[in-house]
Amino acid sequence: MTEETRADAPDKLDRIQDSIEEQLDAGATAAAVSELSELRLPDQADVIATLGTSNRQKVLGELSESEIANIVEHLDVEDAADALGLIAVHTMARVLEEAPPDVAADVLRAVD
């Protein structure tokens, strides 16, 4: 990987984040989720963490429990707790069952 490629990566992720947010604001949730799913898991987590509450809830509502668990694994504990607070309790329980035990324990401690 060249220096130029590394320097472009954050800009590219910023453009993708903007695109996803624009799609969500326009009501194109499926397109936004499709674009999100093309990213690496750590980048998906970064995008989820930066979305507003309403848009985050839209995205989480379209993802499977397994997909949410994979993303939660890459979020900060507080961001994970905030995100999981936006989904139904029974769904949260199933997501945490799929997450690694240490991640689930940390998130449960942080959930209000």
In sequence order, the 6+-apart residues with CB closer than 8 A to the CB of 10 are none
- pLDDT tens column, 29-65: 999 999 999 999 999 999 999 999 999 999 999 999 9
Radius of gyration of the chain (CA): 14
- pLDDT tens column, 66-88: 999 999 999 999 999 999 999 99
pTM greater than the 0.75 cutoff: yes
In sequence order, the 6+-apart residues with CB closer than 8 A to the CB of 16 are 35, 39, 43, 47
CATH number of 3-110: 1.25.60.10
- Total residues found in the chain within this entry: 112
- pLDDT tens column, 5-26: 344 577 888 999 999 999 999 9
CB 79 within 8 A of CB 111: no
